Amino acid sequence: MTRLSVNINKVATLRNARGGNVPDVALAALRCESFGAEGITVHPRPDERHIRYADVRELRPLVKTEFNIEGNPLTGSFIDLVLEVRPHQVTLVPDGHDAITSSAGWNTVEHREYLSGLCRLFRENGIRTSIFIDPVPEMAVGAALCGADRVELYTAAYAEGYAAGREKAIAPYLEAAVAARAAGLGLNAGHDLSLENLGWYVRTIPWTDEVSIGHAIISDAIYMGLEETIKAYLGEIRKK
């Protein structure tokens, strides 16, 4: 069954806009878990404009579900942080230091040597490694050759095309997901998934291990409340 990991970056963005510790990032993570979330995701960036490295250190002993850290390993401090806190999963994302949000996946063929070294390093430290990729079968096969445990499919294009035609929008994702499964990889998905498009995605690709959702959940929580929002997302995942 697909697991829901809540990305709490936007909680930190709100806190940082005002200063102080309101809203409390750690408390938000614990509440997400108590409301049914099956994982917590954070994506620290070098400028710490939302999740700070100190948040990651505070959260690690508190999170009782799965702890997933996303980020660009080209920043040495990111690798050091992951090795220090040892999350259940690290997701390697090739975003620039000044990116507003993630905008593309890895070319796992071009960067095979580099990614292979990282996968080996994290495996030796007991950390599952997922590589963020575009929905291209060749990139899934490449990730397997790098030694990754999973891939996370970058779902922005799916979300953008959903309203115009969901079958067409999901077709490349299904193809890449089949390739990932054939290569022996676990499968995650994330970016712009929402209550509108999540159910169709997981029903079409039911072997998706995990979806990571942040912006939509925190936005919906403004109107619905955090508990009801998480229940609604879990309902979409589990709908037959």
Catalytic, 88? Answer no
**Which residue among the candidates 33, 50, 66, 191 is catalytic per the annotation?**
191
How does DSSP classify residue 192? Answer: S
Per the structure block, which two tokens stand in for 67?
């702890």
Give the pair of three-digit tokens for residue 36: 């049914």
Amino acid, single-letter form, for residue 165: G
95 token code pair: 């975003």
Catalytic residue among 33, 38, 66, 70: 70
Is 111 catalytic? The answer is no
Q: How does DSSP assign 23-63, residue by residue?
A: S-HHHHHHHHHHTT-SEEEE---TT-SSS-HHHHHHHTTT-
Per the DSSP assignment, residues forming a β-bridge with 108 are none
Conformational region of residue 179, where left means phi above 0, alpha means psi within -120 to 50, and beta covers everything else: alpha
Query: Of the listed 43, 66, 210, 236, which one is catalytic?
Result: 43
Q: Are 46 and 77 in contact (CB under 8 A)?
A: yes
Distance CA 43, CA 50 (A): 8
Residue 13 CA to residue 219 CA, distance in Å, equals 12
Look up residue 11 and give its two tokens. 């909680």
> In the annotation, is 70 catalytic?
yes
Measured between alpha carbons, how far is 206 from 177 in angstroms, rounded to an integer? 10
Q: Say if residues 162 and 199 touch (Cβ distance below 8 Å).
A: no
Residues taking part in catalysis: 43, 70, 191
